[in-house]
C-alpha cells in the first residue's frame, strides 16, 4: 500500500481539488484507492457527497479502536473510498501528541491489504499532525502557485524537513497557473532548477475546477475535455510512473 500526501503549508493552492481528481483518476486506472480527508474543513468530504462525520469519533480512530466498515464510505466513483473528515478532526493534533511517528500508517493497518493507494488531503499547517504525515507518507505532493509567497512556503517546508531530518521526498507541482501573467511564467521557468523532483505537469487556473463545489464531483468526470481535466490526467500519468 502506497501513501501519498497532498500537502502545503499555504492554504488556497488547489490542494483539495488535486486530491480529489488524482484519487478519481487512480481508481479509474484500476487502483483500489482510499482518500483520507484530514482537514477539519472537510472540503474533500463535501466534494464526494459524504457527511462530515467520523462514526465512533476521531478518538477511537487514533487509538486503533475504530470499526473501519463503519468509518470508511464508498463514493460514486468505483474503486474510490473515503475516510471522511468532521469538525472533530480538529482534535487530531492533540490526540497524536503522545503517539510515535508514522501513526497514520499504523491506524490504517487493518485495511492495509484492501487498498493499493492511500491519498491524504492534509490541512495547511506545520503541526503534530503534519509530522505524522511526513513520517507516514511515501511522498509529499506539494501544489505551488507560481507566486513569491507560495515559493516561500515551499522553501520553508524544505528547511523544516531538513531540520527534523525527515527523508520523505517532496514532489512540487504548479497549480492555478495563469500563463498570461509574466510573474507566473518567470517562476515556472526557473523553479525546476532548485527542485529536481518537480513534476512537469502544470494545472492551469480554470473555471472548471471552481465548479467542483457546485458539481460535487471530480473535474475529470463532469468536464472531461477541459484544460484542467487534461492537466490532471497528465499529472496522474507522471505520478503513476513514480509510484
Number of structural domains in the chain: 1
- Cβ–Cβ contacts within 10 Å for residue 130, how many? 22
CA distance 54 to 37: 10
Range of the domain at 182: 2-242
pTM of the full predicted structure?
A: 0.94
| Predicted local confidence at residue 240, as pLDDT | 96
Instruction: Please give the pLDDT value at position 157.
Output: 94
Per-residue pLDDT of the chain (243 residues; tens, 9 = 90+): 999 999 999 999 999 999 999 999 999 999 999 999 999 889 999 999 998 888 777 888 888 777 888 889 999 999 999 999 876 667 777 778 777 787 899 999 999 999 999 999 999 988 899 999 999 999 999 999 999 888 999 999 999 999 888 889 999 999 999 888 888 988 888 887 889 899 999 999 999 999 999 999 999 999 999 999 999 999 999 999 998
d(CA 174, CA 7) in angstroms, rounded, equals: 13
Cell triple for residue 37? Answer: 480527508
% helix, strand, coil for the chain, step of 5: 50, 15, 40
- The CATH number of residue 139's host domain is 3.40.50.300
Instruction: Pick the closest to residue 31 from 242, 241, 240 (CA basis).
Output: 240
Amino acid at each position: 500500500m502506497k501513501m501519498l500526501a497532498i500537502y502545503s503549508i499555504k492554504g488556497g493552492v488547489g490542494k483539495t481539488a488535486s486530491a480529489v481528481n488524482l484519487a478519481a483518476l487512480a481508481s479509474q486506472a484500476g487502483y483500489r484507492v482510499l482518500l483520507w480527508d484530514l482537514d477539519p474543513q472537510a472540503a474533500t468530504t463535501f466534494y464526494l457527497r459524504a457527511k462530515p462525520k467520523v462514526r465512533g469519533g476521531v478518538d477511537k480512530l487514533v487509538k486503533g479502536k475504530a470499526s473501519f466498515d463503519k468509518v470508511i464510505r464508498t463514493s460514486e466513483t468505483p474503486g474510490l473510498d473515503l475516510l471522511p473528515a468532521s469538525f472533530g478532526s480538529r482534535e487530531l493534533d492533540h490526540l497524536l501528541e503522545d503517539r510515535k511517528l508514522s501513526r497514520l500508517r499504523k491506524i490504517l493497518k487493518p485495511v492495509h491489504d484492501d487498498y493499493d493507494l492511500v491519498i491524504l488531503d492534509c490541512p495547511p499547517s506545520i503541526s503534530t499532525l503534519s509530522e505524522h504525515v511526513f513520517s507516514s507518507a511515501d511522498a509529499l505532493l506539494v501544489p505551488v502557485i507560481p507566486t513569491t509567497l507560495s515559493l516561500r512556503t515551499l522553501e520553508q517546508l524544505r528547511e523544516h524537513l531538513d531540520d527534523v531530518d525527515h527523508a520523505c521526498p517532496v514532489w512540487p507541482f504548479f497549480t492555478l497557473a495563469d500563463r498570461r501573467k509574466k510573474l507566473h511564467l518567470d517562476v515556472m521557468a526557473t523553479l525546476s532548477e532548485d527542485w529536481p523532483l518537480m513534476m512537469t505537469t502544470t494545472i492551469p487556473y480554470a473555471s472548471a475546477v471552481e465548479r467542483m463545489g457546485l458539481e460535487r464531483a471530480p473535474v475529470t468526470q463532469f468536464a472531461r475535455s477541459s484544460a484542467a481535466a487534461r492537466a490532471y490526467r497528465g499529472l496522474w500519468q507522471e505520478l503513476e510512473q513514480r509510484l
